[in-house]
Chain A
Amino acid sequence: MSQNQEIRCTLSVLVDNEPGVLARVIGLFSGRGYNIESLTVAEIDTKVSISRISIVTCGTPMVIEQIKAQLRRLVPVHDVDDLSDNSVHVERELALVKIVNTGSNRIEALRIAQSFRAHTVDSTLDSFVFEITGTSSKLAAFINLMKAIGDVEIARSGVCAMSRGKISKLKQRDDML
Chain B
Amino acid sequence: MEGNTETNLTMSGADAILRVLEEQGVEVIFGYPGGAILPIYDSLFKSNSIKHILVRHEQAAVHAAEGYARSTGKVGVVLVTSGPGATNAVTGLTDALMDSVPIVCLSGQVPTHLIGNDAFQEADTTGITRPCTKHNYLVKESEKLCSTLHEAFHVARSGRPGPVVVDLPKDIQLSECIYISRQDRHGRRYKPIINPDKSKIIEVAKLLVNAKKPIIYGGGGIINSGPEASNLLRELVDLVEIPTTLTLMGLGALPHDNKFFLGMLGMHGTYEANLSMYNCDVMLNIGARFDDRITGNLKEFSPNSKKIHIDIDPSSINKSVPVDIPIISDAGSALKELIYELKKLKFKDSENRIGVWLTQIDEWRSKKCLDFNQTGKIIKPQYAIKRLFEKTKNIETFITTEVGQHQMWAAQYYGFSKPNRWMTSGGLGTMGYGLPSAMGVQIAHPEKLVIDISGEASFLMNMQELSTLKQYKLPVKVFIINNQWMGMVRQWQQLIHGGRYSESYTDSLPDFKSLAESFGLEGLRAENVDQLDDVIDQMMASKSAVLCDIQVAKEENCFPMIPSGAAHYDMLLGPEDKQNKKVSKDGLALV
User: Which of chain A's residues has its CB closest to B144's CB?
Assistant: A177
Given A19-B138, A73-B313, decide whether A66 and B319 contact each other with a Cβ distance below 8 A.
yes
- For window 350-381 of B, CB contacts with A under 8 Å fall at none
Given A20-B126, A20-B138, A175-B187, the answer on whether A31 and B315 have CB atoms closer than 8 Å is no
Q: Is A153 an interface residue (CB 8 A)?
A: no
- B313: chain A residues at CB < 8 Å are 73
Q: Which residues of chain A have C-beta atoms less than 8 A from B147's C-beta?
A: 177
- Distance (whole angstroms) from the CB of A18 to the closest CB of chain B: 9
Task: Name the contact of A66 in the complex, choosing from B185, B189, B318 (C-beta under 8 A).
Answer: B318
Query: Which residue of B135, B188, B315, B319 is within 8 Å of A175 (Cβ)?
Result: B188
Cβ contacts under 8 Å, B131 to chain A: 27, 31
Task: Determine if A69 is an interface residue (Cβ-Cβ < 8 Å).
Answer: yes
User: How would residues 12 to 32 of chain A score, 1 for a CB under 8 Å from any chain B CB and 0 otherwise?
Assistant: 000010011001100100010
Total number of A residues with any Cβ neighbor in B under 8 Å = 23
In the assembled complex, how far is the CB of residue A173 from the closest CB belonging to chain B, in whole angstroms?
A: 8
- Taking a contact as CB atoms under 8 Å apart, the answer to whether B189 and A177 are in contact is yes
Q: Which residues of chain A from 68 to 113 have any CB-CB distance to chain B below 8 Å in the complex? A: 69-70, 72-76, 78
Whether, in the assembled complex, A145 has its beta carbon less than 8 Å from a beta carbon of chain B, the answer is: no
The CA of A74 and the CA of B190, in the complex, are separated in Å by 9
A23 touches B187 (CB 8 A): no
CB atoms of B189 and A69 under 8 A apart? no
Chain B hits for A66, CB < 8 A: 315, 318-319
Inter-chain CA distance A114–B314, complex, in Å, is: 49
B127 touches A23 (CB 8 A): yes
Residues of B within 8 A of A76 (CB): 189
Return the chain B residue nearest A175 by Cβ. B187
- Which residues from A are CB-within-8-Å of B322? 3, 62
In the assembled complex, the Cα of A88 lies from the Cα of B275 at a distance in Å of: 47
Residues of A within 8 A of B186 (CB): 176-177
* Cβ–Cβ < 8 Å partners of B127 in chain A: 20, 23
Contacts of A27 in B (CB 8 A): 130-131
Query: Total interface residues on B, using CB and 8 Å?
Result: 27
Q: Does B155 contact A (CB under 8 A)?
A: yes
Q: Name which residue of chain B comes closest to A172, CB basis.
A: B187
> In whole angstroms, what is the CA distance A123 to B317 when docked?
55
Q: Is the CB of A177 within 8 A of B151?
A: yes
CA gap between A27 and B127 in the complex, in Å = 10
Q: Which of B130, B136, B155, B187 contacts A174 (CB 8 A)?
A: B187
Closest A residue, CB atoms, query B188: A175
Query: Chain B 114-149, CB within 8 Å of chain A: the 1/0 string?
Result: 000000000000110011001110101000000110
Please indicate the chain B residues that have their CB under 8 angstroms from the CB of A3 in the complex.
Answer: 322
With a cutoff of 8 Å between Cβ atoms, the chain B residues found around residue A24 in the complex are 130
In the complex, what's the smallest C-beta–C-beta distance from B584 to chain A, in angstroms?
Answer: 21
How many whole Å from A14's CB to the nearest CB in chain B? 12
Determine the distance from Cα of A176 to Cα of B189 in the docked complex, in whole angstroms. 5
Given contacts A62-B322, A75-B155, A75-B190, contact A69 B315 (CB under 8 A): yes
Say yes or no: B138 contacts A72, CB within 8 Å.
no
Chain B 302-334 against A: per-residue CB contact (8 Å), 1 yes, 0 no?
000000000001110111001000000000000
Measured in the bound complex, the distance between the Cα atoms of B553 and A115 in whole Å is 83
**Given A19-B138, A23-B130, A177-B186, A72 and B314 contact (CB-CB distance below 8 Å):** yes
Could you say which of B130, B187, B314 contacts A176, with CB atoms under 8 Å apart? B187
Known contacts A174-B187, A177-B151, A177-B187: A73-B130 contact under CB 8 Å? no
Residues on B with beta carbons closer than 8 Å to the beta carbon of A174: 187
The yes or no answer to A151 lying at the interface (CB within 8 A) is no
B501 to chain A: closest CB distance in Å? Answer: 33
CB neighbours (8 Å) of A73 from chain B are 313-315
Contact A70 B315 (CB under 8 A): yes
What is the bound-complex CA distance between A19 and B322, given in angstroms?
Answer: 36
B136: chain A residues at CB < 8 Å are 20
In the complex, what distance in Å separates the CA atom of A31 from the CA atom of B148?
A: 26
Which residue of A is nearest B190, CB measured?
A75
**A20-B130, A24-B130, A27-B130 known; A69 and B138 CB under 8 Å?**
no
- Nearest 5 CB-CB pairings of A with B: A69-B315, A75-B135, A69-B314, A175-B187, A70-B315
Can you identify 24 A-B contacts, CB atoms within 8 angstroms? A16-B189, A19-B140, A20-B126, A20-B127, A20-B136, A23-B130, A66-B315, A69-B314, A69-B315, A70-B315, A72-B314, A73-B313, A75-B135, A75-B189, A75-B190, A76-B189, A175-B187, A175-B188, A177-B147, A177-B148, A177-B151, A177-B185, A177-B186, A177-B187
Given contacts A66-B315, A66-B318, A69-B317, 17 further A-B contacts (CB under 8 A): A20-B127, A20-B136, A20-B138, A23-B127, A24-B130, A31-B131, A69-B314, A72-B314, A72-B315, A75-B134, A75-B135, A75-B190, A76-B189, A175-B191, A177-B148, A177-B151, A177-B185
